[in-house]
Amino acid sequence: MKRNYKFHWLSVVSFFLPLFFLFGIVFLFWLYLTPAERLLLTGISQIRYIFLVSYAGLLMIGLGFSLVWIVHHYIIPTTRLAEEAELIRSGNLSHRIQPAGSPALRKLSEIINAWASTLESEQIDIETKITEARSESETQKNILAAFMAELPEGVLICNLKGKILLYNKQAKLFLAGKKDDDRLNRDQKPGSYQYVGLGRWVNDVVDPHLVQHALNEIKDKLEKKESDVAAYFVISQHERMLRVEAAPILDHLRAFTGFVLIFYDITDQLQKDGRTQFLWQSLTRNVRSALTSIRSAIESLMDYPDMTAERRERLKQLIHTETLNLGKVLDDTTDEYGGFCTDSRWPLVFIKDDELLGIIKKRAAEKTGIELMVDGSLSVGWVRVDTYSITLAWLFILDRLKKTIGRNRFSIRLKRAGRFVGFDILWDGGPIKIENLNKWEGQVVKIGKEGLPFTLKEIMGYHHMDIGSYPGRSSTDPSHIRIFMPAFMVPEPNRKRGVAILPESRPEFFDFDIFHQSGQHPGMDSRRLTDLNYTVFDTETTGLDISGGDRIVSIGAVRIVNAKLLKEEKFDRLIDPARPIPEASTEFHGITDEMVAGQPLIEEALPQFHRFADETVLVAHNAAFDMRLLQINERYTGIKFINPVLDTLLLSAVVHPSLGNHNLETIAKRLGVEVLDRHTALGDAITTASIFLKLLPLLAQRGIYTMRDARRASQQTYLARLKY
């Protein structure tokens, strides 16, 4: 029941109850009087009615003053004393009660304050001892954190569902930011952003097909108990080429519970590899041309010994000139090649040729509906491949072959061709023209929604592959395409990635409880508040008349994951409101027209914030105002926020209904939260997030544990009636 309703009921009961008893006694007295006594009493009252009315009025005034005195000295102070004592016990030990009310309540307030001071002093001593006891562990933790932060490789640790549990700043640098509008993403909306953060999904920043392929490969290797259980693939991200190594994480029972993605920037190395390949081809061509000229001249000298002296001299001069040219070609190539490294950074691993065929056969049936019949040939060697890109290249070739000749069944056989393994794709009918193969090589490899930002020729080049078309020897023999790949009889040793096995107890350095937490789902109402992910945000505007045209000039937000405030995962944008900012508003938040000039419009900034807040609960102070702002901008951006919402203004009224002031600064002071950068969007968002975390245990003490509980309790407060 609301506090003002309680006061009204108390006033009514306290005022009318004595009157009820008084008139009850008078009524009983009247019943026992004789008619003569009643007549006498009636006459007296008619004569002395002024005295009786005055007496009744004084009685009512006395009752009113008594009621006010009791309420202000006992009722209200008692209620406030209970709430503030509870606040000291569970929220803010540094809070002190201002003595008020009767002498007994004042004395009780002083006793509680003294008890709080003693308890706070003891808590400080305990925390100091704990800090000293953990100093060595903290040092180790800081060393590990610094080491992770400074790694040149990007690192993501995820659970099996793909939720990010840990990342370093290099991973964020590699992956976060504006999505590439490359050949495979032409239908993507401009301004789309991807974020790396705790509790977010790895599929938002890495192609889910690649991740799933790597996880399937890891599972197969674990089942076969192979020594190298890692999987490898390449991605293109923000004009970078990243080599990705995926390794499993096993729990103490060796169950597959998560995975690590390690990102290596191979952009420069791949450019060097391409340049090296070009130099090699150029060297081969020039050397072959020079040797041909020299051999032709020498053969002429040998075949015609009686030639004229003049012709003999010209041939000698030709040989001399070609040898000089050959030396120059070698010198130029050596100079240009000097700084290059021939070790390719493309993630190639060894696999038996028949095992590769098994993978391709399975994927072809799943992705293209093509049936491959392997003729049962035994393995003729090992090949060195990136399993994902080579499989996709095979599917691309099979799909083009299917569309060209109109067949969906092919035979496959293995043949050894010198230093190469030949993969023959056979069918009955005419051969494929060389022009078709050349056309395929220039196309980007893509099957349905799955693809890579490379052409078939680029993938084949990094695998040192070649492809040719061959007709049957007779009209009854099948035609075939042969894919050549370098063969290895004994594979070179790979660098093996060890398996990370978690201890039975929780690791000291990082909280991995989120391994076993479920993701967001429609049943969010039944989930505990401490289990949800939150985006705590605030806005600054050109003014407070949002229905009259005032616009957003700044949005700031931080995230709460696993009941922890992540200040590093922030959203902080200035926004051009496309209208002047009044001086009165600038004095309030400090944002001027010059500061927002050239900044993104709301049409670009709001989709970015929508992406940042995806799959989280929105939290704000006086959220009705901020949500109304977002709603008004729907018609400009097409972005609709459907996230659940919690309001710290209302939640504060839930836990402290007798404390009337619930503005941000008052609540922060009450809960012991430091206020920084007041009236900036990001500063107020951080303050709101800290307040929200302080409110969670206070809500739990009132039996409010779930999202549904919090929303219902908020709706019952009188502050919920505020509208904008």
Catalytic residue, chosen from 73, 238, 464, 679, is 679
662 is catalytic: no
DSSP-derived pairing of the beta strands 409-417 and 371-374 = parallel
Contacts 24+ apart (CB under 8 A), 654-658: 654/699, 654/702, 654/704, 654/710, 654/713, 654/714, 654/716, 654/717, 655/695, 655/698, 655/699, 655/702, 656/83, 656/87, 657/2, 657/3, 657/83, 657/717, 658/3, 658/76, 658/79, 658/80, 658/83
Report whether 315 contacts 295 (CB < 8 A). no
Q: Please give the backbone phi and psi of residue 575, each rounded to the nearest 5 degrees, phi first.
A: -130, 135
Report whether 619 contacts 536 (CB < 8 A). yes
Structure tokens at 110: 């002083």
CA dist 421 → 331, 356, 399, 424, 492 (Å): 35, 12, 22, 10, 17
Report whether 418 contacts 382 (CB < 8 A). no
Structure tokens at 29: 């007295």
d(CA 463, CA 482) in angstroms, rounded, equals 15
Token pair 């060393």 in the structure block, residue: 143
The torsion of the CA quartet 201, 203, 206, 211, rounded to 10 degrees, works out to 120
Token pair 């799955």 in the structure block, residue: 450
d(CA 473, CA 454) in angstroms, rounded, equals 35
Residue 389 neighbours by CB under 8 Å, 6+ apart: 233, 234, 445, 452, 454, 459
How many alpha carbons fall within 13 Å on the CB side of residue 288?
A: 6
Beta strand ranges found along 151-216 (DSSP E)? 154-159, 164-167, 177-178, 193-194
Residue 591 neighbours by CB under 8 Å, 6+ apart: 540, 553, 554, 574, 581, 585
CA dist 174 → 55, 144, 271, 300, 346 (Å): 87, 21, 18, 62, 17
DSSP conformation class of 515: G
- Tell which residue, 97, 134, 132, has the closest CA to residue 113: 97
CA 512: distance to chain centroid? 16
Residues in the chain: 724
CA dist 655 → 86, 696, 714 (Å): 10, 10, 10
DSSP conformation class of 622: T
d(CA 164, CA 198) in angstroms, rounded, equals 5
The residues assigned a catalytic role are 679
